[in-house]
Amino acid sequence: MNLNNKVAIITWWTKWIWEAISLDFAERWIKVCVIYYWDENNANKFQEKIKKINSDYLVLKADVSKIEDTNYIYEKVVEKFWWVDILVNNAGTFLSKENEANIEKRYKKLFEINFFSSVYMTEKFGELFKWDLWKIINISSIAWVNPFSYTWWVRSPEYCCSKASMDLYTKLMARTYDWKILVNGIAPWSTNTPLWDWVDENFKKIRASESMINRYMEPKEISKTAVFLLENDAINWDIIVVDGGNILN
């Protein structure tokens, strides 16, 4: 795919890897539309960064776990850019019993944000397809590949299930769109973002040691993988694991 002048929608929920992906895309002259829900201050800071790279962008506040907000997103994107070529489903959150004791609320929230948001955004994206080659990248998690680490299995089996559903959906949609829209996924290990600032230092060390390279993944390592999937038109139905060898440790 020639990335120049393409239009990409990138969803996010809190402080994840969306910024690295968005800025990497913008550097390649992709018109970026970022969808956020929390953290107005962070969204404003992001706009200051991206406008220095590429002034043709859009930042929208919306809840991608709601169908009505999904329709609003596409209306605004088409209104500004006339079309869309790329969708990156990156919205996600993590909950455990420590955060939410009610099992019904916990499972519903995780599936609404981690899984259903991707379904709603993907289905609408498919409805708009008209020409050429379009692409979808779903950011999931290593949790579906290796759920039995210290963090995932003990603390949030519901998170693992939501991410596993997302990856199965990735493969189903890849077959459904049949090389008209290429659908792939990226499954990162823990990524070095502000999310971990509040975590106990001892826990952070344990977490890092679960990777063979003994560190967290960097946002740039995930964004480079996303760019690779955009530039390579021979990959479909695949999930690229970026885990520093966690699965082998």
Q: What is the pLDDT of residues 108-126, one digit of tens each?
A: 999 999 999 999 999 999 9
**pLDDT tens per residue, range 136-166:** 999 998 877 776 665 544 567 888 889 999 9
Alpha-carbon torsion, ordered 157, 158, 162, 164, to 10 deg: 20
Confidence of residue 249 (pLDDT cuts 50, 70, 90): low
The predicted pLDDT at position 245 comes to 79
Closest CA to 243 of 187, 192, 162: 187
Mean pLDDT of the chain: 88
Q: What per-residue confidence (pLDDT) applies to 186?
A: 95
Read out DSSP for 137-197? Answer: EEE--GGGT-TTSTTHHHH-HHHHHHHHHHHHHHHHHHHHHTTSEEEEEEEE--B-SGGGG
Q: What is the pLDDT of residue 147?
A: 66
Q: Is the pLDDT of residue 6 over 60?
A: yes
The domain segmentation of the chain, as residue ranges, is 7-248
| CATH architecture group of domain 7-248 | 3-Layer(aba) Sandwich (3.40)
Q: Which residues neighbour 206 within 8 Å (Cβ) at sequence distance 6 or greater?
A: 150
**SS3 (DSSP) at 72:** helix
DSSP-derived secondary structure letter, 208 = H
Kindly tell me if the per-residue pLDDT of 57 is higher than 70. Answer: yes
Please tell me the pTM assigned to this model. Answer: 0.91
Q: What is the pLDDT of residue 15?
A: 59
Using pLDDT thresholds of 50, 70 and 90, give the confidence band for residue 171.
very high
